[in-house]
């Protein structure tokens, strides 16, 4: 069976679902036996989901519109 | 004499001893490379592992493959050499003549005929190879290892032919006088309909042979690649069925591609990129675009070399070097000593020209292995390449012969293209529409770098003004949104200059973070988002992102929040895809530690 270190070496690609069937098989064999890596995998998946669905740093129109309007006004004035 | 000078090496030079033992003489093809003993070693290692060592298919069949491909490519040097070797292994002159003329008359077993048919297709029309060809071999009794060997022997044959065409060694033997005219089989591109259609989703993909799992811990060469490349390309992962053949290739990489004493690493990557593109190998195009990006070349410059290096920003001598490499790699029999003289007059040394030939040969080796084993891509090829591939292969005799120069701006599919053209013509309405389309992307890029809303809103205004000021300079060599992000990034970096303790975005990942391990955290609730309101979670995530080091924050925001592809982020930040992946994982794991106290099983649900 592979070690936790070997599991972690493939972890980035596994999280993105980008490993070959042979590698996946090894990783899943390890996961079935290793509680620590199970938690790592599960909490990482949940992290990605939470971060992705958070809509963080979305600029509301109430803020972005005045900025764009100011810029466009300046460009129109510059043009004369 | 060959096209280049030769150096006198000791008779005890190890590769020479090996050839003396195996063949009874030292082929002139090796003598022609003695200016760089390391490339002689590379060839010797490949030949020993692929050709001379006992394997899954008999030695005599390997020699037949080498001879048939040499004959198919009209390579008189290799034809003479391989005929003599086959003869020394006991093949009759009659059979050798038949192989030179038409292998189907050479009185071979059905399995041998099938393998020659396969090898010639792989050598000639590699992009048209598919599962049916592999299945044809399997029905003739070929197992995984035999198929693997057939592919790698073909790659070796291609490698030797490119070397001999590029170096022009004197034949070791009198070429055999052929009793009749060779029946010329059609050359050039595959007939219509044979090229795989990139949009046929249902088509069964590779890899064609299984690849048992090997890790950097158990297979030392992988640890070396991990260190030199930052990741292990599928090209190597897909070959773990035969660690012996894989190791020989890695030794060759080490001697051909890594040294910097003749050509630079960037020059070699450009050769690999341009020749792979000419061979329509989108796997290798994607890899080498990324390698160039990782070495600091802007992504659009690499894309341009893949499409047409004449239109790139490379200096003229380097363009001539690529002309030579592409000609050698796609129609080597047209190479003459004049091509070599031309490179010399442009200032290239003999060592550099030799290395260019060897890099081109190794490129075609790698292209052949990739196509022959159906190795899956690590990255997306440049968007323009896919489109051009279809265009280039549909009628041109050689892939790179197209009418006029190909510019990225003509071929790039960008939904913004029309508005950009109007804005460049001075339409403020078109510019405003473009800006509104990309407001979130710009703002998030600024937040990612500056880390606070007030500064980001100020910088947003400057970004828009800068974008308008420079929009006429946008040449369409990248997507408009990519260009816009680079304007935002530069504007943000200018804002940062006023601050103390600026965090660098460009720090390398490999040195400082080599031993990063995630900290243990406790298990989380099944549905962690249930206990918190959407706005609570958003605040929590935003606070977490703001405390990340900037270089991780940028990648997490663009990739996970703005949901751009790894390739897109890599282009926008001028990083290789592997570097983006490394930073993304690091950033995600830091976010995981930040979020953990709020979502562990024992927590009763309040955001602290």
Q: Is the pLDDT of residue B457 over 50?
A: yes
CATH of domain B257-396: 1.20.1290.10
What is the architecture of the domain spanning B14-167?
Answer: Up-down Bundle (1.20)
pLDDT in tens, B182-208: 544 444 444 433 344 443 433 567 799
Q: Which residue from B minimizes the CA distance to A50? A: B529
Could you tell me if B538 and A29 are in contact, meaning their C-beta atoms sit under 8 angstroms apart? no
Query: CA nearest A39 in B: which residue?
Result: B523
User: What per-residue confidence (pLDDT) applies to B403?
Assistant: 39
CA distance B382 to B299: 9
- Contact criterion met (CB below 8 Å) for B46 and B156: yes
CB spacing of B589 vs A44 below 8 angstroms: yes
Average pLDDT over residues B77-105: 93
pLDDT for position A6 = 94
Q: Is A20 on the interface with B (CB under 8 A)?
A: yes
Q: Is A73 on the interface with B (CB under 8 A)?
A: no
Within an 8 Å CB–CB cutoff, is residue A62 touching chain B?
no
- Mean of pLDDT over chain B: 87
Separation CA B519–CA B272 (nearest Å): 41
Q: Please compute the mean of the pLDDT values over residues B453-457 and round it to a whole number.
A: 94
Pick the CATH number of B417-497 from 1.10.1740.10, 3.30.300.30, 3.30.479.10, 2.40.70.10: 1.10.1740.10
Least Cα separation, residue A32 to chain B (angstroms): 15
B592 with A25: Cβ contact below 8 A: no
CATH pick for B528-599 out of 3.40.50.300, 3.40.980.10, 3.40.50.970, 1.10.10.10: 1.10.10.10
**Backbone CA torsion sign across B400, B403, B408, B414:** negative
- The residue behind tokens 């297979």 is B219
pLDDT for residue B508: 55
User: Does B213 score more than 90 pLDDT?
Assistant: yes
A50-67 as b/e: b if 16+ CB within 10 A: bbbebebbbbeeeebeeb
Domain boundaries, chain B: 14-167, 257-396, 417-497, 528-599
| Per-residue confidence (pLDDT) for residue B500, from 0 to 100 | 57
Q: Which residues of B touch A9 (CB under 8 A)?
A: 215-217, 226
Q: Single out the residue of B421, B417, B414, B426 nearest to residue B468, CA to CA.
A: B426
Handedness of CA B398, B403, B405, B409 (dihedral sign): negative
Residues B468, B465: Cα–Cα separation, whole Å: 5
pLDDT digits (tens, 9 = 90+) for B30-64: 999 999 999 999 999 999 999 999 899 999 999 99
Please determine, for residue B569, whether its predicted confidence score (pLDDT) is greater than 80: yes
What number of other Cβ atoms are within 10 A of residue B441's Cβ?
A: 18
Give Cα separations from B607 to A39, A45, B315, B545, B550 (angstroms): 21, 20, 58, 16, 25
Q: Which residues of B touch A55 (CB under 8 A)?
A: 538, 561
Tokens 């090796």: give the residue. B30
Contacts of A74 (CB under 8 A, 6+ apart): B465
- Residue B520's pLDDT is what? 81
Q: What does the alpha-carbon distance between residue B605 and residue B590 come to, in Å, rounded to a whole number?
A: 21
Look at B432 and A56 and tell me if their CB atoms are within 8 Å: no
A56 to B595: CB separation less than 8 angstroms, yes or no: no
* C-alpha span between B147 and B253 (Å, rounded): 23
Return phi, psi of residue B398, to 5°.
-120, 145
Mean pLDDT (whole number) for B296-314: 92
Locus of tokens 């890029």: B445
Helices (H) and strands (E) in chain A, counts: 5, 0
pLDDT at residue B490 tops 80: yes
Residue B301 three-state SS: helix
Do A68 and B376 make contact, defined as CB atoms within 8 angstroms? no
> What integer pLDDT is reported at residue B230 of this predicted model?
82
Q: Each residue's pLDDT tens digit in chain A (80 positions)?
A: 899 999 999 999 999 998 999 999 999 999 999 999 999 999 999 999 999 999 999 999 999 999 999 999 999 998 87
Radius of gyration over every alpha carbon of chain A, rounded to an integer in angstroms: 23
* Res B607 pLDDT > 70: no
Cβ contact B257:B36 at 8 Å: no
Residue pLDDT, tens place only, B392-422: 333 333 333 333 444 444 445 788 999 999 9
What confidence tens digit (pLDDT) does each residue in A27-47 have?
999 999 999 999 999 999 999
Q: B387 pLDDT band (50/70/90 cuts)?
A: very low
Question: Please, which residues bridge with residue B524 across strands?
Answer: B600
The percentage of chain B sitting over the pLDDT mark of 70, rounded to a whole number, equals 86
Q: Which residue has the tokens 């070997």?
A: A6
Helix (H) or strand (E) holding B573: helix B566-573
CB contact under 8 A, B521 and A39: yes
Q: What is the pLDDT of residue B390?
A: 34
The pLDDT tens digits of the residues spanning B272-303 come to 999 999 999 999 999 999 999 988 898 889 99
Chain B residues closer than 8 Å to A57 by CB: 443-444, 447, 542, 545, 557, 561
Q: Give the Cβ contact number of residue B536 at 10 Å.
A: 14
Give the per-residue pLDDT at B527: 85
**pLDDT surpassing 80 at residue B181:** no
Handedness of CA B527, B530, B535, B539 (dihedral sign): negative
DSSP B400: T
pLDDT at B84: 94
Question: Token pair of B249, please?
Answer: 């290739």
- Is the CB of A75 less than 8 angstroms away from the CB of B465? yes
Whether the domain at B257-396 and the domain at B528-599 fall into the same CATH topology: no
Closest CA to B77 of B156, B163, B191: B163
B440-444 average pLDDT score:
96
Distances from the Cα of B568 to the Cα of B222, B241, B527, B564, angstroms = 27, 33, 31, 6
Q: Please tell me the distance in Å from B237's CA to the nearest CA on chain A.
A: 9
pLDDT, position B404: 41
| Contact call for residues B165 and B364 (beta carbons, < 8 A) | no
| Nearest chain A Cα distance for residue B431, angstroms | 9
Query: In whole angstroms, what is the distance from residue A1 CA to residue A7 CA?
Result: 10
Q: Is the CB of A2 inside 8 Å of chain B's CB atoms?
A: yes
What pTM was computed for the model?
A: 0.88
ipTM: 0.95
Residue B122 has pLDDT above 90, yes or no: yes
Q: What is the DSSP string of B53-90?
A: S--SS-HHHHHHHHHHHHHHTT-HHHHHHHHHHHHHTT
């Amino acid at each position: 069976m592979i070690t936790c270190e070997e599991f972690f070496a493939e972890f980035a690609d596994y999280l993105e679902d980008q490993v070959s069937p042979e590698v996946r098989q090894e990783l899943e064999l390890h996961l079935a036996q290793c509680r620590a890596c199970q938690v790592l995998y599960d909490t990482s998946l949940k992290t990605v989901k939470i971060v992705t669905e958070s809509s963080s740093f979305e600029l509301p129109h109430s803020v972005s519109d005045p900025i764009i309007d100011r810029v466009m006004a300046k460009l129109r004035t510059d043009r004369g | 004499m060959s096209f280049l000078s030769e150096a006198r090496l000791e008779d005890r030079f190890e590769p020479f001893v090996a050839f003396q033992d195996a063949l009874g003489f030292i082929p002139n093809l090796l003598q022609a490379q003695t200016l760089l003993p390391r490339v002689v070693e590379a060839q010797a290692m490949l030949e020993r592992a692929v050709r001379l060592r006992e394997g899954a298919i008999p030695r005599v069949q390997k020699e037949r493959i080498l001879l048939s491909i040499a004959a198919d490519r009209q390579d008189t040097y290799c034809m003479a050499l391989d005929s003599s070797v086959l003869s020394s292994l006991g093949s009759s002159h009659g059979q050798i003549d038949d192989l030179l003329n038409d292998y189907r008359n050479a009185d071979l077993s059905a399995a041998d005929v099938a393998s020659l048919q396969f090898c010639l297709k792989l050598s000639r029309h590699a992009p048209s190879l598919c599962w049916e060809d592999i299945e044809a071999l399997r029905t003739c009794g070929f197992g995984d290892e035999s198929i693997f060997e057939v592919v790698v022997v073909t790659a070796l044959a291609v490698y030797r032919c490119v070397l001999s065409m590029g170096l022009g060694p004197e034949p070791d033997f009198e070429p055999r006088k052929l009793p009749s005219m060779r029946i010329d089989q059609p050359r050039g591109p595959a007939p219509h309909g044979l090229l795989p259609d990139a949009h046929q989703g249902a088509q069964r993909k590779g890899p064609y042979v299984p690849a048992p799992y090997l890790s950097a811990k158990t297979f030392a060469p992988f640890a070396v690649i991990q260190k030199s490349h930052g990741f292990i390309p599928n090209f190597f992962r897909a070959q773990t069925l035969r660690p012996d053949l894989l190791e020989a290739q890695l030794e060759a990489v080490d001697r051909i591609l890594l040294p910097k004493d003749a050509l630079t690493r960037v020059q070699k990557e450009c050769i690999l990129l341009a020749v792979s593109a000419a061979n329509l190998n989108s796997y290798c195009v994607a890899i080498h675009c990324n390698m160039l990006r990782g070495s600091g070349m802007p992504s659009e410059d690499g894309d341009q070399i893949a499409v047409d290096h004449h239109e790139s920003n490379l200096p003229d001598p380097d363009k001539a070097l690529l002309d030579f490499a592409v000609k050698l790699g796609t129609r080597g029999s047209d190479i003459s000593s004049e091509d070599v003289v031309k490179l010399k007059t442009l200032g290239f040394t003999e060592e550099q020209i030799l290395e260019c030939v060897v890099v081109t040969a190794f490129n075609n080796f790698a292209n052949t292995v990739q196509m022959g084993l159906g190795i899956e891509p690590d990255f997306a090829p440049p968007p323009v390449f896919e489109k051009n591939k279809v265009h280039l292969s549909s009628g041109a005799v050689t892939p790179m012969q197209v009418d006029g120069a190909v510019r990225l701006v003509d071929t790039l599919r960008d939904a913004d293209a029309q508005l950009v053209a109007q804005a460049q013509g001075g339409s403020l309405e078109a510019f405003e529409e473009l800006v509104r389309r990309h407001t979130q992307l710009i703002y998030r890029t600024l937040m990612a770098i500056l880390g606070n809303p007030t500064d980001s809103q100020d910088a947003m205004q400057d970004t828009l003004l800068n974008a308008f000021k420079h929009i006429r300079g946008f040449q369409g060599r990248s997507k408009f949104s990519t260009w816009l992000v680079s304007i935002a990034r530069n504007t943000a970096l200018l804002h940062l200059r006023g601050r103390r303790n600026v965090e660098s975005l460009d720090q390398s990942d490999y040195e400082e973070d080599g031993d990063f391990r995630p900290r243990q955290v406790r298990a989380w609730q099944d549905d962690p988002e249930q206990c918190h309101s959407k706005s609570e979670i958003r605040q929590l995530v935003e606070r977490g992102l703001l405390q990340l080091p900037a270089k991780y924050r940028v990648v997490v925001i663009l990739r996970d929040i703005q949901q751009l592809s790894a390739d897109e982020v890599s282009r926008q930040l001028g990083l290789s895809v592997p570097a983006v992946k490394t930073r993304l994982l690091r950033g995600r794991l830091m976010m995981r530690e930040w979020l953990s106290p709020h979502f562990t099983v024992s927590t009763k649900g309040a955001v602290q």
